[in-house]
Chain A
Amino acid sequence: MAELSTLARPYAKAAFEFAETAGDLQGWSKSLAIAGSVAQQSNVVRLLASPSVTADQQAQALIEICGDALNDQGRNFLTVLSENRRLQLLPDISQQFDVLKANREKAVDVEVTAAHELDAEQQQKLIDALSTKLERKVNMQVRLDKSLLGGAVIRAGDTVIDGSIRGRLAKLAESLHS
């Protein structure tokens, strides 16, 4: 996983910079997401891993599956990837592309796991507080998890703010243990 993201980085960066100059970040993000999910299908994975299939055939197959989702440059991108036999990196590339895009747009995806249903007002409050703290536009997704007992866990990338009862109990348990 770690190694794959290292390999994917230059491709994601190149695609991002190209899309930015072309002014089509949204379109590229969408095509990469589709290509990425295609490359994750089990029979495609097998195809990409098979040594008996040539790089050209792999690229062709993928381009055909994606169909209209790709423009000309998108097809070229897949061809370049296939030349280096890196098509299986597509999911990582798509993910890194989105991170770069979010960074550029000063936006961040935040996942909030709450113990109880959050009403609109609470959600708005959270979004406001988080966007001041993170200095980013917040795209919030809310999930429900009763096992938290109370409170919420907020996850923005690597940063985690654990305000749940379960988390506090775990901390208490640990402090009593040590």
Chain B
Amino acid sequence: MQQLNPSEISEIIKSRIDNLNVSSEAQNEGTIVSVSDGIIRIHGLDDVMYGEMIEFDGGVYGMALNLERDSVGAVVLGDYQSLAEGQKARCTGRVLEVPVGPELEGRVVDALGNPIDGKGPVNAALTDAIEKVAPGVIERQSVDQPVQIGLKAIDAMVPIGRGQRELIIGDRQIGKTAIAVDAIINQKGSGIKCVYVAIGQKAASVAAVVRKLEEHGAMEHTIVVAATASDPAAMQFLAPFAGCSMGEYYRDRGQDALIIYDDLTKQAWAYRQISLLLKRPPGREAYPGDVFYLHSRLLERAARVNPTYVEKFTNGEVKGKTGSLTALPVIETQAGDVSAFVPTNVISITDGQIFLEADMFNAGVRPAMNAGISVSRVGGAAQTKIIKKLSGGIRTALAQYRELAAFSQFASDLDEATKAQLDHGERVTELMKQKQYSPQSIAEMGVMVYAADNGYLQAVEVSKIGDFEAALLSYMKAEHADLMTQINASGDYNDDIAAGFKAALDKFIATQTW
């Protein structure tokens, strides 16, 4: 038996019949000349705009991408098997739009905003164009509020601010998506809405991410936009723009949002495919000439906007609030080669990168972040005070350790100072390890970093650091809950807190229970 879907209620159908605008306006029409791999060439359509939706027979839509003298090149959004040479194509006068708004939270949609999670229609009140110009210079504000990722290594060494673009880059199977998912999970209760855009991934991987988010209660504040590997290249090319428009909804209304593009390499591939089929000249690595612009215009839309912009956008409804869209684009490298075309492009566009390394991953350091070449160019201003004060030593300790570790492999006996440095570095490296799906609060990070900075780790065997951390955190939670809540609330660091940490740690170390 065929199932009735929720939009088939007589009342709804009646109102739609009633509201249908059937005025017979003049329309521009053309003829399909060729159909190839999702690319359609159309003769005619003199009035078509760049990026305009084109309607084909059978309710299939396309998007005009090449406007030439005698023909129009368009990509088909959906199934192109039903199209054939000689069929008519009509202008619609509309650019591509997707639904936006809070109705999408908790949903999984495709690149056009159609639900694909089987939970019925998305009744979004608003739609918005997917291609928009980023806010201008006047409308922006500098980044000074943090986005807590919940991973010690990132929050301590490459802090991310609201409105920043921080690239996550590394080889396949190295934990890029894991960082992104942890970041989303940690936004629970922070008020930051998340958009996870999956591009060219296996449908199974997308389903796994959605399931993990649901398990950790993070789906309520998250929109998942999925263009899987089996979707047409046009969808994979459009998905990030669609997700960006959904994120901008929050930015423009004085709220904060976090968007993850997982990953932009696949989007560049999809765009390369479309461009080559449209017969645009290939350039380096066969990418078209505007592949840089493809990513720069997308990432430029992740920004922090000032209260004036928000006020103007909402017609005075929201006053005195800045809005932000933080972007975490993901790029996959081949065998650690960051000097390939797309990685260099995106590195230069973003405000810093988190570089994940295969060697570290294999050595058991997870997240496998290379602290030496991972940077955050603007996040320092946004870092929580306590983490900023305490984490200064971590980076240097790791940098010195790496240098010494390479050197000391060949040395038979080392002086005391070097040994101490190696010892400390080893422990800090161990401390930076963190399990997946277990984000830490500011206070938890604070106490761990304090312990490392003040030599408390020297009393602990390297292999026991993980146990020490777990024991210390549960001890702090049980015995010093007030201190922890106070830190989490304010994020400040002062002598009182330092004294509190010292007293707690001295007592804990004395118990030797880890």
Contact = CB atoms under 8 A, between A and B. Distances in A.
Contacts of B123: none
A134 to B, nearest CB: 9
Given A2-B68, A159-B29, A162-B27, A168 B13 contact: no
A6 B29 contact: no
Nearest to B7: A176
B30 A158 contact: yes
Closest 4 CB pairs of A and B: A2-B71, A163-B24, A160-B29, A2-B70
A13 interface: no
How many residues of A sit at the interface, in one of the four size bands? 20 to 34
Contacts, number: 59
Given A171-B20, A175-B20, A177-B59, A2 B43 contact: yes
Given A161-B27, A176-B17, 15 more contacts: A6-B69, A9-B69, A151-B24, A155-B29, A158-B28, A158-B44, A158-B47, A159-B26, A159-B28, A160-B28, A161-B25, A161-B26, A167-B24, A171-B20, A178-B59
Contacts of B366: none
A175 B16 contact: yes
Contact of A172 (B17, B29, B41, B90): B17
A160 B90 contact: yes
A interface, by DSSP: helix, strand, loop or mixed? helix
B33 interface: yes
Nearest to B90: A160
B45 interface: yes
Interface of A: 1-3, 5-6, 9, 133, 151, 155, 157-163, 167-168, 171-178
> Interface centre among B22, B41, B47, B59, by most A CB within 10 Å?
B22
Contacts of A160: 26-29, 90
Contacts of B24: 151, 161-163, 167-168
A15 B108 CA distance: 59
B46 interface: yes
Contacts of B33: 1-2
A72 to B, nearest CB: 31
17 contacts: A1-B33, A2-B43, A2-B70, A2-B71, A6-B69, A133-B26, A151-B24, A158-B30, A158-B45, A158-B47, A160-B27, A160-B29, A161-B26, A162-B24, A175-B16, A176-B13, A176-B17
B70 A6 contact: yes
Contacts of A171: 20, 22
B367 to A, nearest CB: 43
Nearest to A172: B20
Contacts of B16: 175-176
Contacts of B41: 2
Contact of A1 (B20, B43, B46, B90): B43
Nearest to A175: B20
Contacts of B30: 158
A158 B29 contact: yes
B500 to A, nearest CB: 60
Nearest to A162: B24
A149 B486 CA distance: 76
